[in-house]
Amino acid sequence: MTTPPESLTIRRPDDWHLHFRDGDTMRAVVPYTARQCARAIVMPNLAPPVTTTALAAAYRDRINAAVPDGIEFTPLMTTYLTDETDAQDLAVGHGDGVLTAAKLYPAGATTNSAHGVTDVANIMGVLERMADIGMPLCVHGEVTTPDIDIFDREAVFIDRILQPLVDRLPTLKVIFEHITTMQAVSFVESAGPNVAATITPQHLHINRNDILVGGIRPHMYCLPVAKREQHRLALRGAATSGSPKYFLGTDSAPHHRHAKESDCGCAGIFNAPFALESYLQVFEDEGALPHFETFASLAGPAFYGLEPNEERVTLEKRPVEVPATIDGGEAEVVPFHAGETLNWQLVS
Ligand code: DOR
Ligand code: ZN
């Protein structure tokens, strides 16, 4: 029998999906990600949303100004697709290196998605252009029609929207974001090399019982909502498999405590401060520590056509206590794993 390693050194990870917000909240949360990751794909669902190259460039500058001195961190910007998106602006932004990807929010799917796309047919010209220039599409994969149960919205999205889209534009690079179901895993497995998925820490740790049993836990609520245990197990299998089709995307989505603990609590889990620790616990539990670097640091850059980071980080098997609350700028935010002890700690 071999002794498990007490420390793990890997290339510096990236986060391929997160929310920084803006203003004081952004300035409070950016340092947590910059400490853990070298790059991050930044979601454009501000109010109003980041819909043009110029808005993305200005937002990038505000994020860069919030990165603590002495830390190397690069925000990778996205633009928010609407029924009116200008394909030329997108192509110029991508060519100039301002825009890394574009984001498809079905209208009404989640926080600040009211301006999203009402029908994928309305942006087919934009998507064709993206396929031509090799610009990846990030997808929030849920249908929004009221007749579809919230727990079925991802699986129905695959059948109605995603599979037909991938069949029609097989050269378009598609990131199926924050997947939550075994159907999503099957879809990604059967799709060609231009389809990949991100998986959040929370969807590897919690199922829907954790949100609802014994009382409603608003800090466990995000979209897509966590599903049954069989889905969580499928996601754990996928994330830890070593397949290059799955990579780290936290979907860290800070909402102030009062906005979560409310009559109509916001969707989103703030997991940035201990994201690597949270993921690594899953890889350890699954006996898959050797696959952690692929998931956290190699598969994402490979899919996006970027080089992996040269720097290394080290995690040690040392307990770390997650605080009950974290300063979120204007108000406090409750982090994922609040009050829990995690087994691993990022040390350098
Ligand atoms: O839970 C979520 N929160 N899911 C999303 O898709 C958006 C995010 C947010 O912006 O709060
Ligand atoms: Zn998100």
| 216 belongs to a structural domain | yes
Q: 67 in a domain, yes or no?
A: yes
Q: What CATH number did the domain enclosing 204 receive?
A: 3.20.20.140
Question: Mutate which of 139, 223, 255 to test ligand 1's pocket (most atoms within 8 Å of Cβ)?
Answer: 223
Residue in the structure block whose two tokens are 């220039």: 133
User: Taking all residues of the chain, what is their mean pLDDT, rounded to a whole number?
Assistant: 96
Q: What is the span of the domain harbouring residue 187?
A: 14-311
pLDDT tens track for 116-154: 999 999 999 999 999 999 999 999 999 999 999 999 999
Nearest ligand by distance to the CA of 177: 2
Choosing from 89, 119, 251, 327, which is the catalytic residue?
Answer: 251
pLDDT of residue 110: 77
CA dihedral 69, 79, 176, 65 (to 10 degrees): 10
User: Is 251 tagged catalytic?
Assistant: yes
Q: Is residue 305 part of a domain?
A: yes
Average pLDDT rounded to a whole number, residues 49-54: 97
State the sign of the Cα–Cα–Cα–Cα dihedral 285, 142, 335, 42: positive
In the reported structure, the alpha carbon of residue 5 is separated from the centroid of ligand 2 by a whole-number distance in angstroms of 33
Is the predicted pLDDT of residue 286 greater than 70, yes or no?
A: yes
**Is residue 65 in a domain?**
yes
Instruction: Report the candidate in 68, 28, 22, 67 with the shortest Cα–Cα distance to residue 49.
Output: 22
pLDDT tens per residue, range 199-208? 999 999 999 9
Indicate which ligand has the atom closest to the C-alpha of 219.
1
Residue 256 C-alpha to ligand 2 middle, in angstroms? Answer: 16
Ligand 1 atom at shortest distance from the alpha carbon of 269: 1
The H or E element containing residue 333 is strand 332-333
Decide whether any atom of ligand 1 lies within 6 Å of the 110 Cβ. yes
271 domain residue, yes or no: yes
Distances (CA, A) of 79 to 64, 103, 138, 281: 17, 6, 10, 33
Phi, psi (deg, nearest 5) at residue 76: -105, 120
What is the distance in A from the centroid of ligand 2 to the CA of 34? 18
Q: For residue 284, how many C-alpha atoms fall within 13 Å in the half-sphere facing its CB?
A: 19
In-domain check, residue 347: no
pLDDT score of 2: 61
**Does 116 reside within a domain?**
yes
Over 90: is that where the pLDDT of 93 sits? yes
Answer yes or no: is the C-beta of 267 below 6 A from any ligand 1 atom: yes
Task: Tell whether the torsion through CA atoms of 4, 36, 75 and 191 is positive or negative.
Answer: positive
Q: Is residue 237 part of a domain?
A: yes
Q: How far apart are CA 50 and CA 22, in angstroms?
A: 11
114 token code pair:
């009211």
Ligand 1 mean position, distance from CA 190 (Å): 27
Residue 270 CB neighbours (<10 A): 27
At 247 the pLDDT is: 98
Q: How many domains does the chain have?
A: 1
Which comes out higher in pLDDT, residue 46 or 348?
A: 46
Ion ligand 2: residues, CB < 5 A: 251
pLDDT digits (tens, 9 = 90+) for 164-179: 999 999 999 999 999 9
